[in-house]
Amino acid sequence: MYKMSTQQTLKVFVTRRIPQEGMQILQNSGMCNLSVWDSDEPVPRAELLQGVAGAHGLICLLSDKIDAEVLDAAGPNLKVISTLSVGFDHLAIDEIKKRGIRVGYTPDVLTDATAELTVALLLATCRRLPEGVEEVKNGGWSTWKPLWLCGYGLSGSTVGVIGLGRIGLAIARRLKPFGVKRLLYTGRQPKPQAQEIDGEYVPLDTLVRESDFVVVSCSLTPDTQGLCDKTFFGKMKKTAIFINTSRGAVVNQEDLFEALSSGQIAAAGLDVTTPEPLPTDHPLLTLKNCVVLPHIGSATYSTRGVMSELTANNLLAGLTGSEMPTELKL
Strands (E), 173-326: 182-186, 199-201, 213-216, 241-244, 267-270, 290-292
In sequence order, the β-bridge partners of residue 178 are none
Contact 267, 243 (CB under 8 A): no
Q: Give the burial class of 55: count Cβ atoms within 10 A of its Cβ; 0-12 exposed, 13-18 middle, 19 or more buried.
A: buried
Q: How many residues does the chain have?
A: 330
Q: Of the residues 56, 90, 282, 295, which is catalytic? A: 295
CA-based torsion, 66, 276, 295, 18: positive or negative: positive
What dihedral do alpha carbons 17, 59, 83, 105 form, nearest 10°? Answer: -120
CA distance 217 to 214: 10
Contact 83, 92 (CB under 8 A): no
Residue 90 annotated as catalytic: no
CA distance 248 to 269: 12
Residues taking part in catalysis: 295
